[in-house]
Structure 1
Amino acid sequence: MFDNYDDNDYEFGDQKDERLEILSLFRELYKDEDRDNKVEMGHHIEEMMISCTVGKYKCYASNFTVLQHDIYGNCYTLKTGSLKITKAGPSNGLSLILYMDKEEYLKQISEGYGARILVHDRDTYPYPGEEGFFVPSASETQIGLRMVTIERQDKPYGNCTDDIYLRKYGYKYTRSFCQTLCSQELFFKTCGCYEDDVTELYYQINTGANEKFCETRQEIKCMSRERARQNKQKAECDCKNPCREHQFLKTISYRNWPTEDYMFTLKDGVCDRIPDQCQDASDLYGQTELYRKSLNYVKINIYYEDLNFERIVESPEIENAQFASDVGGAVGLWIGLSFLSMFEVVQLLFECCAFAGHKCTNRSRRRNGRRRKNKSNKTKENIYSTEMDNKKSNYSKKESENNLQLNKRYQDLYAGSSHEYNYIDNRV
């Protein structure tokens, strides 16, 4: 089954795994079967469920709905209706004891013993291949849950979508569900048919349309090209997160189960459920095959660890009222600053004008002062010049008068003399 690799086989992408090729071929053949045949070939909840309780109340096969999966066969979803869990702890949750009938497992196809479990929100489409986990046979598995509620904001604060699928498809909106439907619409738009992997999905949503799935060689080639294109290119589906969703945090623990004595009780349950298997069940309890026979049984307990739940709520960083208040305060501040700035500008202009006027006045005063000073100096010079001229004139007049008087005296002195004497004063 497994390849013996040598040094030449390590080049990635040259060879395909033989075992995976066989599994892929088997699944392709399984897909081609009619849904009713596939359900009939799988395990039936009426036969495999030895015990089922929710709290202290029994649950029955009619409380489960079947979903066909190409890998895990018949998957069953428990619908409890209006029943609610009011207490926490393992004794108040779901308790299941299942008969796995390992003799019916497909040799070289089935890889292990146990069951696949998926805990999901009510009314959401299950994806056990992507989201589930295994619980082993011959063990009791305790699954403690804590619920987390996430509430997101839509526009203008966020980007989410309300539940628009429940009424149309019968399932709540999830991002995975949206991406699956959108991808199939792209397949149908390109190739005129849907992938054969989603036959069960369209059976469950029951749209009433006559869906066509890719079957011919040409359609399968087109489907392969479209799948490769979707894997390489950017996603064309605008699938947002839901505005409200529930998630479950899980704490998982195991223990060996059942005990030797309890296996006799399980044998009685198998005989009640599957009379045809009663003889085989009675033969299960030989001491030499105790563990091997215990692989037919699995016990699962799913419960709330605490009835309190975590709530994560997106809230606007700024509410409308707070935003209006902040804007109003900012606008008021800006208006106040604008008025202050305007008055400061006016004051600055006034001070500049006053400074310019004062400077011009001082310059004019200095100019006028210099003019008055120059005029005063000129006046003083004129007065001094006039005085000097007057002094000179008076001095000349006096001197002339003195000269005349002297002349006259000389004339008088020498008038009676016998000598004639003329005195001419040549002094200027």
Structure 2
Amino acid sequence: MSQAKHNLIHKCSFNGKPCDIDKDFELVADPTFGNCFVFNHDREIFKSSVRAGPQYGLRVMLFVNASDYLPTSEAVGIRLTIHDKDDFPFPDTFGYSAPTGYISSFGMRMKKMSRLPAPYGDCVEDGTTSNYIYKGYAYSTEGCYRTCFQELIIDRCGCSDPRFPSIGGVQPCQVFNKNHRECLEKHTHQIGEIHGSFKCRCQQPCNQTIYTTSYSEAIWPSQALNISLGHCEKEAEECNEEYKENAAMLEVFYEALNFEVLAESEAYGIVKMMADFGGHLGLWSGVSVMTCCEFVCLVLELLYMAVTHHITQERIRRRENAANDF
């Protein structure tokens, strides 16, 4: 069971100004949580915070209407995920839970990751792969695993899991087709759902934007609050009690207007290798020439000493012969 946009979102502001709920939020169907709504989805419109802090971020009041929850529901609250515009949201994997009856503040900081492709590393360069099921969105590791899951279902059943986008025009498995239904149930159980331990080769993207968050909360609404909230037309005390049980206030903001860049670089590149090669070549070539020169000088000195010794001995012999003649 899911809620419509205006039933869920009662109030919203961004950068201190009211939101346009119809235009600023886009519906995205999630297989786990049903209707999800993405804020700041339009890639042609640039929304920015002029300053850091909760007053200049996103503030939204959400009404979950806990009385509509099924008896199998484990918790009451809101599921929130913070992601880049180009990334498809996966709230079941990367989401944060916010309870009703509280104002939940999520302070975020942005990090940009830059990884090296082959031959230095193993990442996806172009931001997507040929069979990636989330067309129009940047490649992510989680999206790759879900693509792999869909490929396994198509390979074994001949139809795709209707919870996810299909591949190559393959038709989704029909609910009223007994063979499709039994095959999908059987192999989904064998694989272990999308979070199972099936083996897939999913690399990290070469360029990625991630957000780290810090969380804090406070009781909301205050018992001293004497104004009506949202769409409630009852007395202030009754409205506060109703919103305490069924609503939550969220704040999402930048803790600082700067970001961190983490970039990989090769430990030993071609330029450094050529420089070291030239240095070693010069060193060893220089040593070899000097050594050869020293050997030549040694040979010349030995020859000079031998010739000098021979001449000296010859002179001494001649003097001795001349003395004997007299």
Does residue 323 of structure 1 match 2:268?
A: no
Does residue 43 of structure 1 match 2:36?
A: no
Does residue 69 of structure 1 match 2:30?
A: yes
CA-CA distance at 1:188 after TM superposition: 1.8
Matching of residues 10-409 of structure 1 within 5 Å = 41-59=1-19, 60-78=21-39, 79=41, 81-106=45-70, 108-165=71-128, 169-194=135-160, 196=161, 199-202=162-165, 209-213=169-173, 215-225=180-190, 235-237=199-201, 239-260=202-223, 262=225, 264-266=227-229, 269-271=230-232, 282=234, 285-286=237-238, 291=241, 294-339=244-289
Distance 1:65 1:292, change over 3 A: closer
- The 3-state SS of whatever aligns with 1:270 is coil
Q: Which has the higher strand share?
A: 2
Gaps of 5+ in 1: 1-40, 272-277, 359-428
The equivalent of 1:379 in structure 2 is none
Taking the aligned partners of 2:6 and 2:283, their CA distance within structure 1 comes to 75
CA-CA distance at 1:232 after TM superposition: 6.4
The structure showing larger relative contact order (alpha-carbon pairs under 8 Å, at least 6 residues apart) is: 2
Q: Per-residue displacement from partner, 1:17-68 (whole Å, max 9, x unpaired)?
A: xxxxxxxxxxxxxxxxxxxxxxxx4111212212111102322133212222
CA-CA distance at 1:260 after TM superposition: 3.5
Distance 1:172 1:133, change over 3 A: same
Distance 1:298 1:216, change over 3 A: closer
Taking the aligned partners of 2:187 and 2:9, their CA distance within structure 1 comes to 43
Taking the aligned partners of 1:49 and 1:285, their CA distance within structure 2 comes to 21
TM-score, scaled to structure 2: 0.76
CA-CA distance at 1:210 after TM superposition: 4.2
Letter in structure 1 aligned against 2:3? H
CA contact (8 A) 1:160 1:241 kept: yes
Gaps of 5+ in 2: 175-179, 307-326
Q: Which has the higher helix share?
A: 1
Q: Per-residue displacement from partner, 1:194-227 (whole Å, max 9, x unpaired)?
A: 3x3xx34317xxx782433373324543454455
CA contact (8 A) 1:114 1:134 kept: yes
CA contact (8 A) 2:153 2:184 kept: no
Letter in structure 1 aligned against 2:158? G
CA contact (8 A) 1:119 1:248 kept: yes
Larger radius of gyration: 1
Taking the aligned partners of 1:111 and 1:220, their CA distance within structure 2 comes to 24
Identity %: 27
Q: Which runs of 4+ in 1 moved over 4 A?
A: 222-228, 230-233, 289-293, 337-344
